[in-house]
Structure 1
Amino acid sequence: MTVTDSPPDARPDTRQVATRRRSGNRRARRLGLYALLVLVAVIAGGPLYWLLSSALKTNPQIYSYPPHWIPTELHWSNFADAWNAAPFGRFFLNTLIVSVVGTAIELTAALLCAYAFVFLPFPGKKILFLFLLGAMMVPGHVTLLPNFLTIAQLGWVNSYAGLIAPGLGSVFGTFLLRQHMLTLPQEITDAAKIDGAGHLRILFRVVLPMSRPMVITVALVVMVGKWNDFIWPLIVTSSADMRTLPIGLLFLQNTETFANWGAILAGAVMVIAPVLVMFFFAQRYIIAGLTQGAGK
């Protein structure tokens, strides 16, 4: 009696079938992830594209329905109209001074405070840090009136000092820098102390180079907040010579009585363009600062 085995090709290879099935599932998940990313990009970038394209349109094209997604003619004169309708040069100068000087002082204070909370032993350190965390829960609008009364008593209304002084203390920056410094290896700072380095030298020669991504991240977040600040400059300034860019957009809208929305949107593009450029050049530092777990 002879037993005939079926040829090997006639039997399905279950491992190959399972491998193809897993590969198909991974491909489907990848395509679904790409589709989700494209949807998020459209939702996030759609308003920005509409702003940029409408800044180059005329009023009839902006109000047309169905909308013109691609302008047929580029009206660059909208930027000239916006620049001439409001003193944007002065607005840019004021915003640059407030943002750069305020960020430099606030970042320096945050670095010193974070270093003290991590590397300096003093009584009540944890309790004081908890008080600082509690200050982060206080809405900023609550302190508007006390800050204005203080600035008015000092005679700093409608001045750079009045614009900069209330925002010099950064609890948020102190918190981020402290949490990052806690991840730094203690052996490096101990070796610097053995070599005779003081606290300032350890901060600027050892801790600061290892914390560069986080420092850039905090500096960018603080600077963008000061660049886009609207309520405080509106309260503490009373003349166009001391207004900042966000107030300048309101000034431009009130000036453009004929409702030239192309010029108004062009002014908005000029306001956000420096922030977009900063994010473009600093994005790798931001990602490294937010994902960095420990320094080596």
Structure 2
Amino acid sequence: MAVLIIAAMFAFGPLLWTLTTSLRTPAAAFQNPPQWLPIPADFSNYAAVFKQIPIGQFFVNSVIVTGLIVIGQTVTCMLSGYAFAMIRFPGRTAIFGAFLATMMVPLQTIIIPVFVIVKMLGLSDSLLALVIPALGSAFGTFLVRQYFMQMPRELGEAARIDGANQWQVFSHVYMRMAAPVVATLAILNFSGFWAEFYRPLIFLQSQQNFTLPLGLVGLQGNLGTGSISVVLAGVILAMLPSVILFVFAQRYFIAGITAGSSR
């Protein structure tokens, strides 16, 4: 328990420093030792973020991109994970192995071919350039497959005896028990793509299409003037959606992560 408490302090410490520094005046930002409870709190740094960059537009872009990816990956991963877990077809093991092998390929090695394909499709410098290449996920398929594999096959067999086809078995039997893994997949995808910086940096050029992490780069001019509090205020605003989502959905997240541990 003591080790976990110490580890939690090390993990939470930088986040607490980021929050408290965002509430200090620029002159007090580098105060040593740090003032963990800034009194009085200075909320003008948050107003400065809205004045310096169009953070509202960046937020909307991130919501669109992340929302479409979460929905798309949930659909594709649920279908593919169910197929690999419950449907027997020739070459299933080999195809699944090849599918998992793609997880070992770093994004940096394929980003140029993906960029060329996106440009050929006429999607360069658009939000769809971020959405379409991310609609499939080997990890998500693996996670869903492990979840479905621990479900009793007798339920599907009973539904088929009653005349249900494969789609009805999937949608009316197994999907109704898949809320934990759906929530887990959605939370992981939301957190990962909400904070994504590398692909937007490569694919987007127009400021009106910037997502929130890329748009926050516009605050870096404050670092030259010592106004790190404004930059950290932007970071806190960007973090809030992921934190709120996890707080309200953590029960499903934990259930989904531990569901497939028996196999």
Using structure 2 for the length normalisation, give the TM-score.
0.95
Q: 1:82–1:266: 8 Å Cα contact kept in structure 2?
A: yes
Deviations 1:176-214 (A, max 9, x none): 100111110011111111111122222121111212111
Q: What one-letter code is carried by the residue in structure 2 that aligns with 1:110?
A: C
Mapping 1:275-286, distance limit 5 Å: 275-286=242-253
Is 1:205 the counterpart of 2:172? The answer is: yes
Partners of 2:116 and 2:222 lie apart in 1 by 30
2:63 maps to what in 1? 96
1:237 aligns with 2:204: yes
Question: 16, 27, 31: which one pairs with 1:60?
Answer: 27
Question: For residue 16 of structure 2, what is the aligned residue in structure 1?
Answer: 49
1:134 aligns with 2:101: yes
Shift of 1:255: 6.5
Query: Which of 106, 116, 128 is the aligned partner of 2:73?
Result: 106
User: CA-to-partner distance for each residue in 1:112-142, whole Å, 9 max, x for gaps?
Assistant: 1111112222211111001011111111111
Q: Which moved more, 1:253-262 or 1:101-110?
A: 253-262
- Root-mean-square deviation (Å): 1.6
1:234-260 Cα offsets, whole Å, 9 max, x none, are 111101100001101112213775342
Instruction: Please give the residue correspondences for 1:1-296 in structure 2 after superposition, counting only pairs within 5 Å.
Output: 33=1, 35-254=2-221, 258-293=225-260
Gaps of 5+ in 1: 1-32
Deviation, 1:292, is 2.3
Contact 1:253 1:259 survives alignment (8 Å): no
- TM-score w.r.t. the length of structure 1 is 0.85
Percent of paired sites with the same residue: 37
Deviation of 1:68 after TM superposition, in Å, equals: 1.5
Give the Cα separation in 2 of the matches to 1:263 and 1:253.
9
- Is residue 81–residue 145 contact of structure 2 (8 Å, CA) maintained in 1? yes
AA aligned opposite 1:107: T
Instruction: Return the alpha-carbon distance in structure 2 between the equivalents of residues 75 and 188 of structure 1.
Output: 58
Point out where structure 2 has 5 or more consecutive residues left out of the alignment. none
